[in-house]
Amino acid sequence: MDPDDSATTDPRTHADHDHGHIDCVLAAGDISDLPELRAWCASLPRHNYGQIFIEVFTPFQIQPLDTPHHVGVTWLCREERRPSTRPGIGVPRGQTLADAVDAWLSEWIRADPHSWHFMLWMGARSSSVMRSFWRRVEAEVDQLWSGEMSR
């Protein structure tokens, strides 16, 4: 484990503006993040819109999640992506989640980065795939926002 990762198993939140001016939200986590995701969703203004991605191993892990009306929830089941009779074989933990978040960022943020006021909630940090992915996203978002600040 990278020494910098020892304190990064908890979800992080990044926002380009204060909470009062956030419109669009993106959250990504796994089943272990559900308590924190529930609390985060409860704190969101009801006018927010966006997407939540949650990676689980099996559909049996899917649970109701109360969100603002225009915030969608997509459950990503690794078992359905590449079935396996043995646990731990198939899609690496975090890969499906990273792929979904990357596609969403490309569609919504990267295409027009200066048109959005968004908040990013980053979970699933116990996955090495996601820790690496979040480091890349944090660097990219910091660069986008520092460019916005200097404009």
Mean pLDDT, residues 117-127 taken together: 89
pTM across the whole model = 0.81
State residue 12's pLDDT score. Answer: 58
Domain that holds residue 40: 11-149
pLDDT bin (cut points 50, 70, 90) of residue 100 is very high
> Which of 17-31, 54-68, 69-83 is predicted most confidently?
54-68
Mention every residue, 6+ apart, whose C-beta is less than 8 A from residue 86. none
C-alpha dist (Å) from residue 108 to 52, 105, 139: 14, 5, 18
pLDDT category at 80 given cuts 50, 70, 90 is: confident
Residue 4 inside a domain? The answer is: no
- The CATH number that applies at residue 136 is 3.40.50
CA neighbours closer than 13 Å in the CB half-sphere of residue 79:
10
Please check whether residue 102 lies inside any domain of the structure: yes
Quick one: tokens of 19? 């909470």
Evaluate if residue 131 carries a pLDDT over 60. Answer: yes
The percentage of residues in the chain with a pLDDT greater than 90, rounded to a whole number, is 49
Question: Looking at residue 110, what DSSP letter applies?
Answer: I
Q: Report yes or no on 6 lying in a domain.
A: no
The residue whose two tokens read 């304190």 is: 7
Residue 88 is assigned to a structural domain of this protein? yes
**DSSP calls for 20-32:** GG--EEEEEEEGG
CA distance 108 to 134: 17
| Count of domains observed in the chain | 1
CA distances 100 to 9, 53, 103, 104, Å, are 20, 7, 5, 6
**Among 64, 63, 25, which Cα is nearest to 43's?**
25
Report the pLDDT value the prediction gives residue 150, as an integer from 0 to 100.
Answer: 44
Is position 1 within any domain?
no
In a domain, 2, yes or no: no
At 94, which amino acid appears?
G
Give the pLDDT of residue 92: 85
Question: Does residue 96 belong to any structural domain of this protein?
Answer: yes
Beta strands in 41-141, from DSSP E residues, in sequence order: 49-56, 70-77, 118-122
